[in-house]
């Protein structure tokens, strides 16, 4: 048996076990706390607030039933005051199911409460599910039962809260930094342009033919006298493909790769400035260059759609 | 005249920061996710959100506002859904699903921009 399974098995031994000690409400049911509640919730029920109405109907003011648990709310307790429910929660924590979200909150209001009545509560673990796979992660549903009593032991309300105690899923793995480009004499101008906020395209100083990616010799005339020009950055999507798998360093998946045809006539491989949106990418889509940090923080030429 | 199918009028409740903090403290709920934005965010929430006692209180207020101050709430059963974050507006809707003498049963739903925050079944005694 794994350590975790042993802890869960121990938690089950507490189900139906004795409730924790009676916790006595700090103050009896009282008008100032009712006023505070009614003002905060904007509840103007005469049964809670109007003494004259109360005298003519029930004979007395009542407390809002929704305040039942409020009368026994208190600061966290020490280990010596733990009941079966506290033990179940502690063991689930130790087994790694440390996160909690409430799923159900149910009450039976046996009778209405009057001012001056002191309310106590005793709480017990009622149920612990099998391990469940949930949208939030692996976890256990637990039900705690609260019995609310007056000083002479009359049960005036029963509450049940069902909680999901779950293991927070591991954070998405970091994609790491995008590999840095290999920069040499032939393409230095291109990457300098990125830093300067310019999309630079290699051009032949002899015949003015444009080239991308950068190259040392003009394919048109064979000249090695190469310069560059600055693109307007406007173009259209010539083709696109979306990469889902395998993982790539420095790339958040899915990743839409764009082949953009610039209005100067050359094409370059790029990506969207924001998260991939394969479903809205189409051939012929008008795009405009922008310079955006990629994972790792370096700038890359990227594109945004223009309408 | 209440009968099965009776619909309660919609009521909208603003979940302002002040409202969330005031209601949490009025119910003596000092959990930091109900008053401390920074801590709520560290714990994975967008911001502070309405506490459960208050959600229950709003469901019961919605029902007693309709049936009047002589009505007596017997049970409330809440299923909890999306959080009611600060900045949301929760719209309450209710439908009578059962009438048995003076005992009335309703479905009540409180929804915000994220979906259903609370789905409740409430029973109450409504004097004739």
**B69/A45 Cβ within 8 A:** yes
- Does the pLDDT value for residue A143 go beyond 90? yes
How close does chain A come to B125, measured CA to CA in Å? Answer: 11
Most confident of A19-23, A74-78, B70-74: B70-74
The token pair at B20 is 């969330």
- Does the pLDDT value for residue A60 go beyond 70? yes
Could you tell me which chain B residue has the CA closest to the CA of A104? B79
The token pair at A227 is 């310069």
**A41/B58 Cβ within 8 A:** yes
How close does chain A come to B23, measured CA to CA in Å? Answer: 5
**A46/B76 Cβ within 8 A:** no
CA B93/CA B10 separation, integer angstroms: 5
State the helix-helix crossing angle for B17-26 and A31-41, rounded to 10 degrees: 160
**A107/B75 Cβ within 8 A:** yes
pLDDT tier at A80, thresholds 50, 70, 90: low
**What pLDDT does residue A222 have?**
93
Among candidates B30, B44, B80 on the partner chain, residue whose Cβ is nearest the Cβ of A103:
B80
Among candidates A40, A43, A47 on the partner chain, residue whose Cβ is nearest the Cβ of B22:
A40
Could you tell me which chain A residue has the CA closest to the CA of B43? A99
Q: What's the full length of chain A, in residues?
A: 307
**What pLDDT does residue A73 have?**
86
- Cβ-Cβ contacts under 8 Å, B14 against chain A: none
Among candidates B59, B60, B75 on the partner chain, residue whose Cβ is nearest the Cβ of A108:
B75
**B27/A65 Cβ within 8 A:** no
**What pLDDT does residue A172 have?**
60
**What pLDDT does residue A77 have?**
55
Higher pLDDT, A173 or A26: A26
| CATH number for the segment(s) A188-305 | 2.40.50
**A43/B26 Cβ within 8 A:** no
- Cβ-Cβ contacts under 8 Å, A101 against chain B: 80
What ipTM describes this predicted complex? 0.97
Domain with CATH 3.10.129.10 in chain A: 3-166
Across residues A107-115, what is the average pLDDT? 97
Tell me the C-alpha to C-alpha distance, in Å, between residue B124 and each of A72, A120, A149. 24, 24, 21
CATH class of A3-166: alpha beta
DSSP letter at A19 equals P
| Residue recorded with tokens 């699903």 | B97
3-state class of A147 per DSSP? strand
Domain with CATH 2.40.50 in chain A: 188-305
H-type helices in chain B, by residue range?
17-26, 37-42, 52-67
The percentage of chain A sitting over the pLDDT mark of 90, rounded to a whole number, equals 64
Across residues A55-60, what is the average pLDDT? 97
Concatenating the DSSP letter of every residue in A214-283 gives --SS-TTT----EEEEE---EEEEEEEEEE-SS--TT-PSSEEEEEEEETTS-EEEEEBSSS--GGG--T
3-state class of A299 per DSSP? strand
- Cβ-Cβ contacts under 8 Å, B26 against chain A: 33, 36-37, 39-41, 70
CA A304/CA A166 separation, integer angstroms: 40
The token pair at B106 is 């309703």
Query: Which residues neighbour A153 within 8 Å (Cβ) at sequence distance 6 or greater?
Result: none
Closest to A201 (Cα-Cα) out of A237, A240, A235, A250: A235
**C-alpha angle with apex A101: B52 to A90, nearest 5 degrees?**
115
**What pLDDT does residue A130 have?**
92
CA B27/CA B49 separation, integer angstroms: 14
**B80/A45 Cβ within 8 A:** no
- Cβ-Cβ contacts under 8 Å, B72 against chain A: 112
Q: Which residues of B touch A (CB under 8 A)?
A: 19, 22-23, 25-30, 44, 52-61, 64-65, 69-70, 72-80
The sheet with strand A299-305 has its strands ordered as A267-271, A255-262, A234-243, A286-293, A299-305
Q: Which pLDDT tens digit goes with each residue over A253-264?
A: 889 999 999 999
- Cβ-Cβ contacts under 8 Å, A104 against chain B: 77-80
User: In chain B, what are the domains?
Assistant: 7-125 (3.10.129.10)
Among candidates A37, A74, A109 on the partner chain, residue whose Cβ is nearest the Cβ of B73:
A109
Across residues A274-292, what is the average pLDDT? 87
- Cβ-Cβ contacts under 8 Å, B76 against chain A: 65-66, 106-107, 109
**A105/B80 Cβ within 8 A:** yes
Could you tell me which chain B residue has the CA closest to the CA of A103? B80
The token pair at A107 is 């009450």
Across residues A207-211, what is the average pLDDT? 94
How close does chain B come to A112, measured CA to CA in Å? Answer: 8
- Does the pLDDT value for residue A39 go beyond 70? yes
**What pLDDT does residue A252 have?**
87
Could you tell me which chain B residue has the CA closest to the CA of A105? B78
pLDDT along chain B (128 residues), means of 10: 92 97 95 89 86 97 98 97 95 98 97 96 94
Mutate one of A59, A61, A66 to test the B interface: name it (highest B CB count within 10 A).
A66
Query: Which residues neighbour B13 within 8 Å (Cβ) at sequence distance 6 or greater?
Result: B19, B58, B89, B90, B91, B92, B110
Q: What is the mean pLDDT of chain A?
A: 90
- Cβ-Cβ contacts under 8 Å, A42 against chain B: 61
A240 and A259 Cβ atoms separated by less than 8 Å: yes
pLDDT tier at A2, thresholds 50, 70, 90: low
Across residues A273-283, what is the average pLDDT? 82
Q: What are phi and psi of A268, to 5 degrees?
A: -140, 150
Give the HSE-up count for residue B58: Cα atoms under 13 Å, Cβ half-sphere.
32
């Amino acid at each position: 048996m794994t350590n975790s399974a042993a802890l869960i098995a121990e938690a089950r031994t507490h189900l139906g076990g004795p409730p924790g000690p009676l916790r006595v409400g700090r103050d009896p049911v009282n008008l100032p706390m009712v006023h505070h509640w009614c003002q905060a919730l904007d509840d103007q029920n005469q049964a809670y607030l109007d003494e004259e109405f109360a005298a003519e109907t029930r004979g007395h003011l009542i407390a809002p039933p929704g305040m039942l648990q409020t009368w026994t709310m208190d600061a966290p307790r020490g280990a010596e005051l733990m009941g079966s429910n506290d033990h179940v929660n502690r063991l689930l924590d130790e087994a790694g199911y440390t996160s909690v979200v409430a799923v159900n909150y149910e009450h039976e209001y046996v009778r209405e409460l009057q001012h001056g009545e002191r309310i106590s509560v005793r709480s017990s673990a009622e149920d612990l599910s099998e391990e469940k796979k949930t949208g939030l992660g692996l976890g256990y549903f637990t039900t705690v039962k609260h019995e609310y009593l007056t000083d002479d032991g009359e049960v005036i309300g029963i509450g049940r809260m069902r909680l999901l105690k779950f293991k927070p899923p591991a954070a998405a793995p970091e994609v790491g930094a995008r590999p840095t480009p290999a920069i040499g004499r032939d393409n230095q101008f291109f990457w300098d342009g990125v830093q300067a906020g310019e999309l630079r395209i290699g051009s032949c100083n002899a015949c003015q033919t444009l080239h991308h990616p950068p190259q040392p010799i003009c394919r048109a005339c064979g000249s090695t006298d190469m310069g560059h020009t600055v693109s307007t950055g406007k173009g259209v999507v010539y083709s696109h493909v979306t990469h889902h798998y395998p993982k790539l360093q420095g790339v958040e998946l899915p990743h839409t790769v764009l082949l953009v045809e610039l209005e100067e006539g050359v094409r370059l491989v790029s990506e969207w400035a924001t998260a991939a949106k394969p479903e809205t990418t189409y051939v012929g889509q008008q795009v405009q260059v922008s310079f955006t940090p990629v994972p790792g923080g370096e700038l890359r030429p990227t594109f945004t759609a223009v309408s | 005249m209440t009968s099965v199918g009776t619909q309660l009028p919609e009521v909208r409740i603003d979940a302002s920061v002040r409202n969330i903090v005031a209601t949490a403290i009025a119910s003596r709920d000092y959990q930091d996710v109900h008053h401390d934005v920074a801590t709520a965010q560290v714990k994975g929430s967008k911001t502070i959100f309405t506490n459960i006692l208050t959600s229950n209180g709003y469901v019961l207020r919605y029902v007693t506002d309709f049936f009047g101050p002589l009505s007596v709430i017997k049970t409330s059963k809440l299923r909890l859904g999306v959080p009611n974050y600060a900045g949301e507006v929760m719209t309450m809707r209710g439908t009578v699903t059962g009438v048995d003498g003076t005992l009335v049963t309703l479905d009540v739903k409180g929804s915000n921009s994220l979906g259903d925050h609370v789905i409740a079944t409430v029973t109450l005694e409504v004097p004739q």
